[in-house]
Homo-oligomer: A and B are copies of this chain.
Amino acid sequence: MNTAVSDIEVIKAKKTKIHDVDFDHLSFGSTFSDHMLECNYKDGKWQAPKVVPYQPITLDPSAKIFHYGQSVFEGMKAYKDAKNDIYLFRPLDNWKRLNISSKRLAIPEVPESYFMEGLKTLLKLDSEWIPKKEGSSLYIRPFIFATGKGFHASPANEYKFIIACAPSGAYFAGKVKVLIEETYSRSANGGVGFAKAGGNYAGQFYPTQLAVEKGYQQVIWTDDNTHEYIEEAGAMNIFIRINDTLITGPTSDRILDGITRKSIIELAKAEGIAVEVRKISVHEVVAAAKNGSLKEMFGAGTAAVISPISGFGYHGEDFDIPELENTYASLMKKRITDIQTNKCEDPFGWRFKVE
């Protein structure tokens, strides 16, 4: 299916909201740009996408999103360089993963042209909403949910695909202390953990609240069967540096195939850093913390890019990770954001110019 930019109908907002926004003090994902992409699935196919004003959605109380959790989403960012050119980072990977998630949730897949041309049309229209301040960006949220009606527990016959944009500041402020989870789990073997499915996130909130009450900011999930192996941190993949080796768990049907994660693996290798993609046990991390070989832990994801971890709790004990001067975390963050914001060459072909 091909949809040229000129094919996408645009209904402009009557009035911009941009003058109400303080771009120097943006929080994450709570201010929305003037427009959104909207595309409806009905009669067995995705209808033509449209760019419309960012506006409320009206649904029947029996719409399946309210009952059966059929929803998937993506997280992306748009950046502006010094010349005001607009860039995305590996956007086709988001489109592909959206469809991988959708398939697992029995949601119809979205054509590439609807996603890419729709997004480009939206970004060009709302280009003034892309922040230029260091660390800020336009957070982009593509999402699909079931609008079809009825209380029968079966896939919906109608869906809505939306791309909305939120100019945003940094996701996390500062280093975080994490709790390695021993009771609750994020995902099952053969489940939906690899998908960006809404239900994966709702299930993490309560255990995270419990961790926060104990003085931690995030949970590190372990496998649901033994709680012996590090999986991910819900909204982030996890990297662990032992001595000079950077380790991250392999993706699986329980772990999200993060775009920041795989970019870091490639970047680190290009920097000559030893990278191991393998199962990593809690015991190995605890032993490394005790003998001083645990140099760094950090989360990696689109929202936070890289989120350094200052220490972790496990089995009633707290472990601090001593401060280092030159961390892999800060190096990787600089390399990625320099590519994202067109401050350096992009030998990997990850940067995507919106034009």
Contacts and interface: CB of A to CB of B under 8 A. Distances in A.
A192 interface: yes
Interface string A155-179: 1000000101010100100000000
In the complex, the count of this chain's copies comes to 2
A56 B103 CA distance: 28
A39 interface: no
Given A67-B73, A71-B67, A234-B153, A190 B198 contact: no
A89 interface: no
A82 interface: no
A58 B192 CA distance: 29
A326 to B, nearest CB: 30
Contacts of A201: 67-69, 153
A190 B61 contact: no
A205 B106 contact: yes
B187 A143 contact: no
A1 interface: no
Contact of A153 (B154, B191, B235): B235
Nearest to A140: B151
Main secondary structure of the interface of A (DSSP, over half): loop
A265 interface: no
B187 A191 contact: yes
A36 interface: yes
Most chain B beta-carbon neighbours within 10 Å: one of A103, A152, A186, A205: A205
16 contacts: A30-B150, A32-B61, A55-B61, A57-B60, A57-B63, A67-B141, A104-B206, A105-B205, A146-B202, A153-B235, A187-B188, A188-B188, A190-B224, A192-B202, A199-B199, A199-B203
A57 B61 contact: yes
Interface of A: 27-30, 32, 36, 54-63, 65-71, 73, 75, 103-106, 139, 141, 143, 145-146, 149-155, 162, 164, 166, 168, 171, 181, 183-192, 197-206, 209, 224-225, 227, 234-235, 303
Nearest to A156: B205
A56 B190 CA distance: 36
A105 B203 contact: yes
Contacts of A189: 185, 188, 224-225
A59 B61 contact: no
Given A28-B151, A68-B202, A187-B191, 7 more contacts: A32-B61, A57-B59, A68-B205, A105-B203, A106-B205, A106-B206, A199-B200
- Which 7 A-B pairs rank lowest in CB-CB distance, beginning with the nearest? A199-B199, A29-B151, A69-B198, A106-B205, A188-B188, A185-B190, A188-B224
A197 B191 contact: no
